[in-house]
A = this chain, B = another copy of it.
Amino acid sequence: MSPRIGLDLPTILQAAVEIADIRGLEEVTLASLAQKLDVRSPSLYNHVNGLSGLRSKLAVHGLEQLLHVMTQAVVGRSGDDAVRELGKAYVAFARAHPGLYDATLRAPDPQDEEVRRLAGETVDLVVRALQAYELKDDAALHAVRGLRSLLHGFSSLEQRGGFGLPLDLDVSFRLLLDTFLAGLHEMKRRAKAEAKPN
């Protein structure tokens, strides 16, 4: 019987994540969210800057969580082991939170300071995980892009049911990572072979 339900940002985000993960990101509307929270939709404007503001918050929230699980995955590891665990953590997150994962990529204003900071931290983390391959200068950054492309591509296609074939997805993913890692080793070998003759 009351204005003052006790709504706050964490509560709102949690509800939004639930809708996103279960029904899909497109189903996260101010209307559906308000209904879930037992509130009229204009009330949400007291906490969030409209639908686009909500999406931004959701993106940042997802990036934070993703960075966290990736960080946990690589601590105390290096080389192939680190990359493999990083990859497994990435797709596990995307599988556990399909809607939230979607939100991290859709609409996140690249200008947003928070988004830039998290993106930078993530790149740093992966660069460190790739240290063992002795990639010089830009090569390490290119490798980060490559790894991210492959992780996102796999996750995205898996979510969209883009893989029609009746073939074990975990095997596909393991082989993909193995192939990429074998490639990295080969590139490292070539780089050394090229450097030595000088």
Interface positions of A (Cβ within 8 A of B): 105-106, 108, 110, 116, 119-120, 123, 138-139, 141-143, 145-146, 148-154, 156-157, 160-165, 167, 171-172, 175-176, 178-187, 190
From the candidates B138, B141, B150, name the one contacting A153 in the complex (CB within 8 A): B150
A108 to chain B: which residues have CB within 8 Å? 160
Contact status A146-B179, CB under 8 Å: yes
Copies of this chain, complex-wide, total: 2
A152 to chain B: which residues have CB within 8 Å? 153, 156-157, 162
Complex CA gap A145/B161 in Å reads 12
Contact status A120-B164, CB under 8 Å: yes
Complex CA gap A160/B104 in Å reads 11
Tell me what chain A mostly uses at the interface: helix, strand, loop, or mixed. Answer: helix
A-B contact pairs, 25 of them (CB 8 A): A105-B157, A106-B160, A108-B160, A110-B161, A110-B164, A116-B164, A120-B164, A141-B167, A146-B150, A148-B157, A148-B162, A149-B150, A149-B153, A149-B154, A149-B176, A150-B153, A151-B153, A156-B156, A178-B187, A179-B187, A180-B183, A182-B182, A182-B186, A182-B190, A183-B186
Nearest chain B CB to A145 CB, angstrom units: 5
Contact status A172-B146, CB under 8 Å: yes
Complex CA gap A145/B179 in Å reads 12
Complex CA gap A175/B160 in Å reads 27
Contact status B175-A146, CB under 8 Å: yes
Contact status A167-B186, CB under 8 Å: no
A141 to chain B: which residues have CB within 8 Å? 165, 167
A175 to chain B: which residues have CB within 8 Å? 139, 142-143, 146, 187
Contact status B110-A142, CB under 8 Å: no
